Structure 1
Amino acid sequence: MNPNVQTFKRVFWAFKPCIDGLEHCRPILSIDGTHLYGKFKGTILTAMSIDANNQIFPVAFAIVEASKNTELVGLKFNVDLISALVERWRPETHSFHLTVGEATLTLQDVQVLLGLKIKGDIVSGTTAYNWRFGLPEDANENVLHQYVRAYFLILMTTIMFPDKSGNDIQVVYLPLLRDLTNLDNYSWGSVVLATLYRNLCRASNVKSRDIGGPLILLQLWAWERISIGRPTLMGPVNATHHGPNPLGSQHQIRIDSLGRRWLSVNRKRPEGITTLIGYRDAFDTMLHHQFIWQPYTQQILSFLPGFCYDDSTIGQ
């Protein structure tokens, strides 16, 4: 690299007409972003307001680096692994075509890994999250319900139904939050699995450049079933009156779903696979012992709460 050439990782700017016009806008700011796919990679961000004519008014701009590994609820996405799996997804069969056979995600995977209910009413309806909050100590019942709805929106936008923007949610789900006592009657696991299927089918198109949906489910599924590039659990194994916990230090026996154990892992991949090409080559030479067809043994299920294996005959 030439020492006389200075480069930057990110830049922020605002034009003077935008600065002068901001005082005539409503006191509302929103930020939107899009990925750059040309010669220069990254993400361009735009801060916008609303002027007196109810039109969008650009205020400021920024170009930042694109993150290779997206982090969600403490879990970093392995973009190379996910991309390699997408390349092997076949919309005709809704399955991954591997050298050892065809494999796919099932309702059992959703229930065991995420703890979502797979039996219940259909989730349907008619046609931003970027903040954190704490519940006031003196909150009344109405305030408590508001916070529960807000927290459920966070789950929807980050784990269950995230889109490519990472901060939007379809309004079809909002009416379902009116009656909190009825939330447990819906089959949330079914719609999460269907959402992932739909996004995998869209991403398998050669013209697609990105993927949305519950990718956390896809990555957890891959780590449970495929030994290629699988990280190792970190920390000592929990010892309780139930005996040693083989699920790792992050997992609480009879409380957490199985997916939680992957929140604390060794980022170093034992096979040295660090690129998409590496995963492609490894999948091309996959052997039978590198794929686990039945990972959820009775011993593992015995450490999970009941909602992770109730109605197990439906998920299989």
Structure 2
Amino acid sequence: MSKSRLAPLVTASYCSVNKIIVSIFVERWQPETNTFHMPFGEMTITLDDVASIIGIPVTGRTVSYNDRMACEEAQALLVDALRVEPIETHDDQLIQVRGQSDKLEWLRERFGEMSDDNGEEMIDCAVRAYLLYLLGCTLFTDKSGTRVPIIFLTHLVDLDNVRSYAWATAALAYLNRQLGPLGLASRHEIKQMASYLTLLEAWVYEHFTFLASTPNIHYQPNHPRFHRWVPRREYAPLQALRERLDSTNLLQSRYSHNSYAILCNCALPTSQAVVASDFFHPAH
């Protein structure tokens, strides 16, 4: 995991998303500019935010995402990367390649009990399956929270090259893409969305600390900034928070990991649980 540079994702998810916090920002999203429209101007999540909040690579090779991947191509990729029997890829109840996505539950059940006795090749397959599972639980979560696009396996075939991809850049692009149509919807039309909402919630806590909850007393400066906050699960009514945000003023302040940051003047920053902990089952 450390070689892949994706290790921070193992613990970088809140147990549940604060729907009110997410909602009051999603409804301010403008897809034309990829920014949140605030009373004092516009704000957006930057690559520096993603790198500091999650701690994954910003620079590197491009992570391509094609949601029009042919079903036959997806099946061939499963056979090549995970050594799945070709007949298995046609079993919709087992793998469920609908929309060229893999069911997270199947990945966990199929590869979660691997041990050293399975041989190097199958262990590599289990590592690829785990990384795909991890991406599906975090950066590239779909609306159901139960599937992951198989296309991302193309970036996991060569395990030595996983670290060379700009995963943070891909995560931000995916989040912006999912926010796009929601910014055009009315407040009553927004029911659910895909993407890594922990990133959005942690970003809110970083820049609007009056919305944050208790600081994590165990946080260390070398940790991803996601760990600075203990997320709050209960909040004031939605309308009250909308009005509170509407009254926010702008303050620019200098702080440790960025030259300038846009912050509210209410407070200055001080400097799904472990999503993949249940992937590997004890070997029987």
**TM-score, structure 2 length as denominator?**
0.64
The residue number in structure 1 matching 2:205 is: 223
- RCO greater where, 1 or 2, for CA within 8 Å and sep 6 or more? 2
1:261 aligns with 2:228: yes
Unmatched runs of 5 consecutive residues or more in structure 2: 1-11, 70-102, 260-270, 272-284
Number of equivalent positions: 207
1:276 aligns with 2:238: yes
Deviation at 1:284, TM superposition (A): 1.0
Q: 1:125 to 1:93 in 2, by over 3 A?
A: closer
Q: 1:232 to 1:134 in 2, by over 3 A?
A: farther
The residue number in structure 2 matching 1:286 is: 248
After TM superposition, list the pairs within 5 Å mapping 1:1-316 onto structure 2: 73-124=13-64, 127=69, 128-130=103-105, 131=108, 133=112, 136=115, 138=117, 140-206=119-185, 207-234=189-216, 248-249=217-218, 251=219, 254=222, 256-262=223-229, 265=230, 267=232, 273-288=235-250, 296=257
Contact 2:31 2:184 in 1 (8 A): no
> 1:10-60, CA deviations, whole angstroms, 9 ceiling, x for partnerless residues?
xxxxxxxxxxxxxxxxxxxxxxxxxxxxxxxxxxxxxxxxxxxxxxxxxxx
| Structure that is richer in strand per residue | 1
Give the ranges of 4+ consecutive aligned residues of structure 1 lying more than 4 Å apart after TM superposition: 291-295
Q: 1:125 to 1:202 in 2, by over 3 A?
A: closer
Distance in 1, Cα, partners of 2:168 & 2:15 = 20
Distance in 2, Cα, partners of 1:257 & 1:283 = 26
Contact 1:225 1:292 in 2 (8 A): no
CA-based RMSD: 2.7
Report percent identity of matched pairs.
Answer: 29
Which has the larger Rg?
Answer: 1
Distance in 2, Cα, partners of 1:293 & 1:103 = 16
> 1:280-311, CA deviations, whole angstroms, 9 ceiling, x for partnerless residues?
1111111335x86757369xxxx9xxxxxxxx
